[in-house]
Amino acid sequence: MNDPKASDDDVITPGGPRPAGQVHSVGPDQKVRRDAGDNYHIVSKEGETGESQAVPPEDLVPTPGGYRPKSLIHAVEPGHVLRMAGGRILMVNAAGQVVTDFGPVLLRPRTEIRRVLAANVAPTRRVPPPGPIQAPGLRDHWITFAGWQNQGPPITMFSTTWVVPPAPRTNNGQLIYLFNGMTNAAYIYQPVLQWGQSPIGGGNFWAIASWYVDGPKGKAFHSSLVPVKPGDTVVGVITLTGNSASLGKYNYNCQFQGIPNASLAMENIDTLDWCCQTLEAYRLKEPSDYPNTDDTEFGNIEIRINAAAPPLNWTAVPEGVSDCGQHTVVASNANPNGRVDIFYRSAPEPIVARRVSGVSSASDRVHVFTTDAQGGVYYNRWSQTDSWLGNWYRLADPSYGDGFTVPPGSPLTSLSRFQGHIDLFTVGRDGGIYGTGWDQNDGWAGDWYRVTDPSYGDQFTVPPGSPITAVSRYPEHLDLFVVGRDGGVYTTWWDQKGDWPGQWDRITDPGYGDQFTVDPGTPVVAVSRFKEHLDLFVVGRGGGVYGTSWDESTSWAGHWYRVTDPGYGDQFTVPPGSPITALSRFREHLDLFVVGRDGGIYCTWWDQNGNWPNRWYRL
């Protein structure tokens, strides 16, 4: 039997007819999750860690009112009006003729009605798996904003002026929306400035359009998209143009002043009673994906109720995203000429550092790392195309009360296992070893994971401030080394095939009564002359230089040998705790360098053809 309720665009499901664009496949390793805004997402099933990775269906796209299926997004042609009539959404031309019937108005139970932004201020937190395999860094949806609630008669005009900001320094496929908007309990009406590719077009340039976006599950409508340039002044205006007092319905027009084809007129909708100034963003991977400026000033704000200018009290909402310091400041509640400033990042502050480390992730890119006086971990980046970033950016983790800090001046160890990837390690305030990472496809991970060993009561800790040594013998593998609280030299590893093993192994020598120890905090140097081999060096408690090795065929050597020089009465010693530098110019050769007790710089070498020369030469 044919279902009389089904249209040509509908498909028949076990629950009845519905649009084909609202029917989605869920894989065997996926499940369906409903968020706080009644949006549905297909996500991967939880793993052993209890974490999951959001996987929106392919046809969900980000509008300036949140994600929704492409099939629910519609263009309103210039010169046409969007009209609610007879319970349906109609596009009407200048002659009053219906051009397109977009279907029924979505009726919402009273329990479901909520402000459209409620689904957007709870940002997407994409949780990365443990270890160096990364997930995207910065969060999506409404990032930061200010709002004002009208308690009086309907607003008749709301306008805001701002300057199109500079382009971002980096382009990673990000989508940025900036707007002044008006909402009621169910939908938002807004003149929008965008950067990036949105569902209605765009690219690596700024463009404007007006939008009407219904709440969760609803449709979205937009005007034409009109390109603009950095430095252009735009004025977003929403005007009440008429009403049906007996029905409690109103007509509005949304436009960018003086710019044709970017307006969107609405008829017979509920009154719009809440105003906002908003930054919304999607697919950002690093802070430099935001505009290359500190902030955008939403100025000349004016709200009218008939001829009156009501007193305003803008509220900057504190629950927004602040993963790189994004925030909103209400600079003036004047009406007219009010101002709200939206900041893309924290105000730059001079970094007073005790040490700095760096790594190159590609031939045209350098990353440097340091800590500030409070122990926050910061980074800066240079690339051949855009030089240094304008600010230092903090590598924070919001799951920590302090955003994750270490003792100020702590060593930061970084390495690049392959082009476009960085792993970063440090010792936390609790003595745990922590790591994070960056990938050119996803940006910074957004969290600091701990490398633990559950066989220790404290999960394995070392003295805070201890240096960590990291080496990669091949792209899918990492080896870490550190000196423990007992002075033993410890190691663990990560491998793409097996992740972290959950253990820290001590590298011992039974020939020593204490199995071989050094002063806690002593740096360990490791070098891989070839894929299947590691050489390790450290300064012992008495100041001697000691070495050991690992080979894939034999594992650890089981003893620590001393690199001596019989020309010295003490066989050559340096201050305990001294760092050693080791390098391999070719696989059969090693060179060592260290500072002696007299402050001189000394070197020696090992060669497969002649072993150690038993000499330390002063340079």
* pLDDT score recorded for residue 336: 93
The half-sphere exposure of 589 on its side-chain side, counting CA atoms within 13 A, is 5
Does pLDDT of 343 surpass 60?
A: yes
* pLDDT score recorded for residue 204: 96
Please give the single-letter amino acid code of residue 67.
Answer: Y
Distance from C-alpha of 251 to C-alpha of 81, rounded to nearest angstrom: 10
How many Cβ atoms sit within 10 Å of the Cβ of residue 260? 10
* pLDDT score recorded for residue 28: 62
172-223: pLDDT as tens digits: 899 999 999 999 877 899 999 999 999 999 999 999 999 999 877 789 999 9
How many Cβ atoms sit within 10 Å of the Cβ of residue 7? 10
Provide the pLDDT confidence category of residue 595 given band limits of 50, 70 and 90: very high
DSSP assignment of 329-392 equals EEEE--SSSEEEEEESSPPP-----S--EEEEEETTEEEEEEE-TT-BEEEEEEETTTEE-SS-
* pLDDT score recorded for residue 11: 62
Does pLDDT of 313 surpass 60?
A: yes
Please give the DSSP secondary-structure letter assigned to residue 117.
Answer: G
Is residue 108 within 8 A of residue 250, CB to CB? The reply is no
Task: Give the list of residues 6+ apart from residue 174 with CB closer than 8 angstroms, or none.
Answer: 168, 195, 196, 281, 282, 283, 284, 285, 289
Does pLDDT of 365 surpass 50?
A: yes
Please give the single-letter amino acid code of residue 52.
Answer: S
Distance from C-alpha of 161 to C-alpha of 32, rounded to nearest angstrom: 41
* pLDDT score recorded for residue 603: 97
Among the listed residues 220, 178, 36, the one whose alpha carbon sits nearest the alpha carbon of residue 114? 36
Distance from C-alpha of 357 to C-alpha of 530, rounded to nearest angstrom: 25
Identify the residue with better confidence: 126 or 481: 481
Among the listed residues 24, 62, 61, 20, the one whose alpha carbon sits nearest the alpha carbon of residue 43? 24
Return phi, psi of residue 48, to 5°.
Answer: -65, -25
Mean of the per-residue pLDDT values for the chain?
A: 86
Distance from C-alpha of 513 to C-alpha of 519, rounded to nearest angstrom: 15
Burial 437-452 (b: 16+ CB within 10 A, else e): bbbeebbbbbbbbebb
CA 485 to chain centre: 34
Q: Strand, helix or coil at 178?
A: strand
Does pLDDT of 118 surpass 60?
A: no
Provide the pLDDT confidence category of residue 308 given band limits of 50, 70 and 90: very high
Distance from C-alpha of 309 to C-alpha of 304, rounded to nearest angstrom: 5
Length of the chain: 619
* pLDDT score recorded for residue 111: 44
Does pLDDT of 560 surpass 80?
A: yes
Does pLDDT of 47 surpass 60?
A: no
* pLDDT score recorded for residue 13: 66
Write down the pTM of the prediction. Answer: 0.60
Does pLDDT of 163 surpass 70?
A: yes
Does pLDDT of 75 surpass 90?
A: yes
List the domains of the chain with CATH numbers. 10-24+59-106+143-343 (2.60.120)
Task: Report CA dihedral (208, 209, 211, 216) to the nearest 10 degrees.
Answer: -60
Does pLDDT of 298 surpass 50?
A: yes
Provide the pLDDT confidence category of residue 389 given band limits of 50, 70 and 90: confident
Is residue 295 within 8 A of residue 343, CB to CB? The reply is yes
Q: Average pLDDT of 246-261?
A: 90
* pLDDT score recorded for residue 125: 36
Does pLDDT of 124 surpass 60?
A: no
Please give the single-letter amino acid code of residue 132.
Answer: P
* pLDDT score recorded for residue 135: 30
* pLDDT score recorded for residue 563: 97
Sign of CA dihedral 416, 355, 599, 565: negative
Q: For residue 63, give the H/E element and its range.
A: strand 60-63
Q: Average pLDDT of 227-233?
A: 95
* pLDDT score recorded for residue 217: 72
Distance from C-alpha of 193 to C-alpha of 171, rounded to nearest angstrom: 17
Does pLDDT of 274 surpass 70?
A: yes
Provide the pLDDT confidence category of residue 428 given band limits of 50, 70 and 90: very high
* pLDDT score recorded for residue 27: 63
Q: Average pLDDT of 77-84?
A: 94
Does pLDDT of 155 surpass 90?
A: yes
* pLDDT score recorded for residue 370: 94
Q: Strand, helix or coil at 22?
A: helix
Does pLDDT of 55 surpass 60?
A: no
Q: Average pLDDT of 162-169?
A: 92
DSSP assignment of 296-319 equals EEEEEEEEEBTTB------EE-TT
Lookup: tokens for 21: 């664009």
CA 158 to chain centre: 33
Does pLDDT of 34 surpass 60?
A: no
Provide the pLDDT confidence category of residue 17 given band limits of 50, 70 and 90: low
Is residue 285 within 8 A of residue 136, CB to CB? The reply is yes
* pLDDT score recorded for residue 178: 97
Does pLDDT of 41 surpass 70?
A: no
Q: Average pLDDT of 448-455?
A: 97
Tell me the residue ranges of DSSP E strands in 121-168. 141-149, 157-163
Using H for helix, E for strand and C for coil, what is the string for 523-582? Answer: CCEEEEEECCEEEEEEECCCCCEEEEEEECCCEECCCCEECCCCCCCCCCCCCCCCCCEE
Does pLDDT of 437 surpass 70?
A: yes
Q: Average pLDDT of 389-397?
A: 82
Please give the DSSP secondary-structure letter assigned to residue 427.
Answer: E
Q: Average pLDDT of 306-317?
A: 93
Q: Average pLDDT of 134-145?
A: 64
Provide the pLDDT confidence category of residue 112 given band limits of 50, 70 and 90: very low
489-502: pLDDT as tens digits: 999 999 999 899 99
* pLDDT score recorded for residue 212: 95
